[in-house]
Structure formats: structure tokens, C-alpha cells
Amino acid sequence: MADTEQPQIYLITPPEIELSSFPTQLAKVLDTHEVACVRLALATRDEDRIARAADACREVTHARDIMLVIDTHLAMVDRLGLDGVHLPDGARTVRYARKELGPDAIVGAFCGTSRHEGMNAGESGADYISFGPVGISSLGDGSRTSSDLFEWWSETIEIPVVAEGALDTDLIAQLAPFTDFFGIGDEIWRNDDPVTELGRLIAAMS
């Protein structure tokens, strides 16, 4: 992407949400800041809880013409009226997801720190590739995605790229010229005022 283009926000829900309050909180964030897409990324594997959360979030996002994708659960996309799926396993299921969901659905792939996996996912039909974490995190094996990968990708590959995981203002400022989207979740939801915190992160892009 060109250095003059500001990355878009790809908002990620918390792993647990309180249905009595989160939709209102989400609406405030979406009404204050420009967000391209929301990912429902719940830790639970309870189908009913996921479905109720999806219904609540879809009502908020679709009323604002913002797309809602679901993490992992490919089979729930059509049933819940969602816009696509975010696959956490790199290129492994991209081709299958594309066949199941058709050409119009969003199929995204998280590829960790692997350029090779990202390229394979793109060749298999992914609409975007997500790399991370970009910040220091004790989750997973502790590896990080270097800014060099995003710089190389932006110069070489046309498929949009998402930077996510343990972001802060310094990392956002550093990566803004080389990424199309910032995947932002816990960075704002763990804050008492997610609206203000997202504004602070967005300001770091410029």
C-alpha cells in the first residue's frame, strides 16, 4: 500500500462478552471511529452462546454497514447471517472455506509469523492475511512478526495484510506505512474507556 494511505481498523471482540452491555459498548466505538470490519472471536465453544453473541453483534454492525466475520467457526457463517470467517490455521482450510462459502464471503487467514504460510493462504484464495503478534506477548511460543515482513509484503504482494497482537502506539506508528489493517482487540477492551483508547491508537498512525 502507498505510504499516504492510512491503515483501516479491523476490530476484534474480547474472548468473553457480556451480552447485557457489550453491544452498547461496541456501538459507541463504531459510532465514534471508522471501522472496516469486526471479528467475533469468542473463547467459548458453546454454540448457543456464540449464536446469541453473533446475533447481538450483527445487529450493531450491519446497522452501520460494517462487516462481521467469525473466528474459526466456518459452519456457522451462513446460519448466523455473517459476512465471512477468520481462519486461525494459516493456509490449511482456506481452499475448503472458499468452496463452502462461495466467492462473495470474506475468508481471512492468520499465518502467525510465516511469510511462506501467508503466501500459500493467499494463493488458496484468502481475502486477507493476518500476521502476529507484532508486540511482545507471552502467548504462544513468544515469537513476534518483524516489521520487515510487513514491509516486504506491502512491496511485493497485493493481498491486504493485517497486523495484530500486542499492539501499542509505537508499533502502530512503525507499521502504519506497511500494513492495510490493524487488528485491534484487547488493546482497547481491557481499558475502562475503549472509545478513547482506540482514538489514541488511531492517532499514532499519523
Environment class of residue 99 by beta-carbon count within 10 Å: exposed (0-12), middle (13-18) or buried (19+)? exposed
d(CA 26, CA 8): 17
Mean pLDDT in residue range 26-51: 98
Assign 109 a pLDDT band (cuts: 50, 70, 90): very high
Mean pLDDT in residue range 1-28: 89
Structural domains of the chain, ranges and CATH numbers in brackets: 8-203 (3.20.20.70)
Given a cut of 70, whether residue 4 has pLDDT beyond it is: no
pTM (predicted TM-score): 0.96
Quote the pLDDT of residue 41. Answer: 98
- Residues 69-103: tens digit of each pLDDT: 999 999 999 999 999 999 999 999 999 999 999 99
Average pLDDT, the chain: 95
Contacts of 75 (CB under 8 A, 6+ apart): none
Assign 2 a pLDDT band (cuts: 50, 70, 90): very low
Contacts of 152 (CB under 8 A, 6+ apart): 115
